[in-house]
């Protein structure tokens, strides 16, 4: 998809590795980028490393779990977005999450509650006539419940289902909604985890799938992961139970 200039993209949870690459790619395509995150200093450091995008990037503070600040955050934006990307993420090991309610709750707040809070505000802004697309970064962990990561996976599944309904709700306004269902990404969130090297995807690869989003709802980057996605969707429950 050829990107158009003169448009604005709002990236929420902009300090993730995928989000940073999306910021760079959008800015290089002459989008005005509003990069929003709690980690504003890390965003400034990233942008300063890429001088060609510095003048096209506006960095804002945004806390996905501070729900009562979301309305003021959106109202204060210098321009309302054409494209919105929700990329906020938090990961807690499943065994730890089972014993640590706060860790479980944080995943719920970041992946689902925070997304619903801010995206509802954005979607229901009748004054923003040029909103054309909302993209959420989800995970294959949310496709089927598996014993190794069902708490994290359940938060991503809820997020995906929310976006599916939002897609239907906004269709009459010709606003497209996509979900990027990604596999293993080489990122700071997965650093140190014992993941198979042959299945690792680079953040830029996922970011390109984001900016190339078309009309379909589910986007699964990578041929291997497309195959895994469909296997997970179709496996009988008794076989899913044998997966790690």
Query: What is the residue-level pLDDT of the chain in tens, covering all 244 positions?
Result: 345 558 999 999 999 999 999 999 999 999 999 999 999 999 999 999 988 898 999 999 999 999 999 999 999 999 999 999 999 999 999 999 999 999 999 999 999 999 999 999 999 998 999 999 999 999 999 998 888 899 999 999 999 999 999 999 999 999 999 999 998 888 776 666 666 677 888 999 999 999 999 999 999 999 999 999 999 898 888 887 777 6
**What CATH number matches the domain at 8-240, 3.90.850.10, 3.30.420.40, 3.60.150.10, 3.40.50.720?**
3.40.50.720
pLDDT in tens, 136-147: 999 999 998 888
Residue 236 pLDDT: 87
Spell out the residues 6+ positions from residue 118 whose beta carbon is closer than 8 angstroms to its own.
12, 62, 64, 70, 73, 74, 86
pLDDT in tens, 178-220: 999 998 888 776 666 666 677 888 999 999 999 999 999 999 9
Model-level pTM?
Answer: 0.92
Q: Percent of the chain at pLDDT above 90?
A: 79
Domain boundaries, the chain: 8-240
């Amino acid at each position: 998809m050829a990107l158009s200039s003169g448009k604005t993209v709002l990236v929420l949870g902009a300090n993730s590795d995928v989000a940073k690459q999306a910021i760079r790619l959008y800015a290089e395509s002459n989008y005005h980028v509003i990069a929003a995150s709690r980690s504003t200093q890390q965003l400034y450091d990233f942008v300063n490393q890429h001088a060609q995008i510095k003048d096209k990037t506006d960095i804002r503070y945004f806390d996905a779990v501070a729900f009562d600040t979301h309305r003021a955050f959106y109202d204060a934006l210098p321009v309302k977005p054409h494209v919105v990307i929700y990329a906020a993420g938090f990961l807690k090991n499943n065994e730890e999450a089972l014993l640590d309610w706060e860790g479980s709750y944080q995943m719920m707040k970041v992946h689902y509650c925070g997304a619903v809070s801010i995206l509802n505000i954005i979607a229901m802004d009748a004054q923003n006539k040029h909103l054309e697309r909302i993209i959420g970064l989800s995970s294959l962990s949310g496709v089927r419940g598996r014993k190794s990561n069902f708490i994290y996976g359940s938060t991503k599944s809820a997020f995906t289902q929310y976006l599916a309904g939002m897609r239907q709700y906004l269709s009459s306004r010709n606003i497209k909604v996509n979900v990027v269902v990604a596999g293993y990404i080489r990122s700071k969130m997965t650093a140190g985890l014992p993941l198979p090297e042959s299945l690792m995807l680079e953040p830029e690869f996922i970011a390109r799938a984001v900016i190339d989003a078309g009309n379909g709802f589910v986007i699964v980057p990578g041929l291997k992961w497309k195959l895994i996605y469909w296997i997970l969707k179709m496996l009988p429950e008794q076989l899913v139970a044998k997966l790690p």
